[in-house]
Amino acid sequence: MTLKIKWTELPSVRRRFVLYSMAAVLVFLLLLLRLWYLQVISYEEMFERSVRNRTRMLITEAPRGPVYDRHGNLLVDNRPAFQISVMRQDIVNRDELFQRLSSLLDVEIEDLAMRWQEGLRLPAYRPVPLVIDVDRQLIELVQENSIDLPGVLIEVRPVRDYPDPAAVAHVIGYLGEITEQELRNSRAGGYRGGDLIGKVALERAYEEVLRGDKGQQLIEVDVQGRLLRMLQTQSAEPGDKVFLTIDLDLQQAAIEAFGDRAGAAVALDIHTGEVLAMVSLPTFNPALFARGISSDEWRSLIGDRRNPLQNKAITGLYPPASTFKMVVALAAMREGVATADRVIQCDGDLIVGDSRFRCWKREGHGATDLKKALRESCDVWFYQVGLELGIDKLTAAAREFGFGSTLGFSLPGERAGTMPSREWKRQQFNEPWYAGETVIASIGQGYVLTTPLQLAVMTSAMVNGGRVLKPQIVDRIEDWNGSQTRLFEPELIRQLDYTPEQLQVVGEGMVAVVHELRGTGRRAHLDEVKVAGKTGTSQVVRRLSDEEEELLTGDEYVPYRHRSHALFVAYAPADDPQIAVAVVVEHGQSGGQVAAPIARDILARYFQQQVE
């Protein structure tokens, strides 16, 4: 006979024992199942995680390609810079770490916190730089105290180094951290958050050539993120070498000639279009951006009313003033409006309708032909000729020289300027064109705006047989094996249809500007080389009346921002032209007194090189 005992009839102690035993078996069964899942099903994933916990993949920045001038002088290279960074996932107590670093490195905790906050934009696997461009003594100090600095890394990255930063700032440009918009741009392939990228000038235009290929370092770390050993290294590949057409010595000469004045100068090889010099002043130190520019430094640069960050050679827009008169003369001769022998009586003004247009010389120049009009910069001669020529024909001629459009210059930011016409004014203001506006345009004022680069190209075209050449600033690109990957050749934009006789007449007038007694540009004279040139003084505000001018007799009575710009264009030697120069001095007042000597100094240095 079998006895059946109900569960409820079992003693309570025994019931609890059975329940606990079943629970224990269930727990062990779950643990075995979990262990089987981790060891068998998820083996590969768990193995990868464990490797990631003990290893770090660090990216090493590639040195950017060096840049040289036309003679092989180094303009910008790289130098190794140490920085102290942290891996965020290895930091347990951020405030404690900041306290240690602050006392160790004599750095403000607020600065460390700011760097940390900026680093939050980076991916979690990227080290956050806390102290940049650290000297070796501090690096050794960090290494000695590494046991108390878990998660802290010492990184070495190349930064731009400039032997003469002031001379090349606007040509080379600077780097900056890549933006989200740039990351989304197709141009940014291979970039990540926190990377540096060319922002302006050559650094931006030739980013793909200069950037190089990044390297990698696989390191092993302990549980606190401290470096144990290097497991694997893939070296970074530097960017290509870029050789410019710029002459560093000529750059320095132009900067010295300007002194503390603001403005721009461009020197071109007349026969190739190569840019021999391009300066914009005041300049700035691009090394500030290489090490990380501070807020105060940035505010100082952008708050300077003289615009040191602007490359005025290609972005500055100025009325060309009397340097434009050669274009008017050529257009008038081509259209049959005037000849070299045409004489116009200048009595100091020209009346058009109800308006009076004054010559810069109150008493007038008397009977004036073309050569005299250029030599003494007679406004009335060009008023009359320009009025007869008409704005549309004048504009067509000016645009052939490159005014009113970009020249295809390789550095970014080139501006087109303005060359007005009847249609242009109707589109811009919905107003008709007036005869008086043609008069003003005929002396390079009014709506006419040009860049110094355009003035240099114009000057070259007048003496190289009427060839408007695309300005070139890069000569060639080489890899590190010395092989040329790209060579730049002269490029013709257009051929002008002026006769040699017409071009010669204008050239003779430009020679007279510098070498004859009443020439306005005699301060550009060189003893050993015959220089041809043309002065210009472009008004920033309206021309004052006779009565107002009598009250304002000196610079001290005229606010700086209201003073006229001083311009001068030149070429030399006059009988065998090689180099063309355009100079604009902002608020310099007189082209002949201020801009001409600067052009003279640039030309003097150029020809001095020829005999050395």
Strand partners, 584: 264, 567
Contact 62, 238 (CB under 8 A): yes
Distance of CA 165 to the CA centre of its chain: 13
pLDDT of residue 605: 96
pLDDT of residue 47: 52
Catalytic residue among 322, 377, 421, 460: 322
375-389 core/surface letters (b: 16 or more CB in 10 A; e: else): bbbbbbbbbbbbbeb
Which of 174, 169, 205 has its CA nearest to residue 279?
169
Sites in the chain below the pLDDT cut of 50: 1, 51-52, 546-555
Does residue 322 have an active-site annotation?
yes
List pLDDT tens digits, range 314-363: 999 999 999 999 999 999 999 999 999 999 999 999 999 889 999 989 99
Q: How far apart are CA 4 and CA 227, in angstroms?
A: 69
SS3 13: helix
Dihedral angle of Cα 543, 546, 548, 554, to the nearest 10 degrees: 80
Cβ atoms within 10 A of the Cβ of 166, count?
17
Residues 6+ apart with CB under 8 A from 521: 513, 514, 533, 534, 535, 568, 570, 591, 592, 596
SS3 263: strand
pLDDT of residue 127: 77
| This prediction's pTM | 0.84
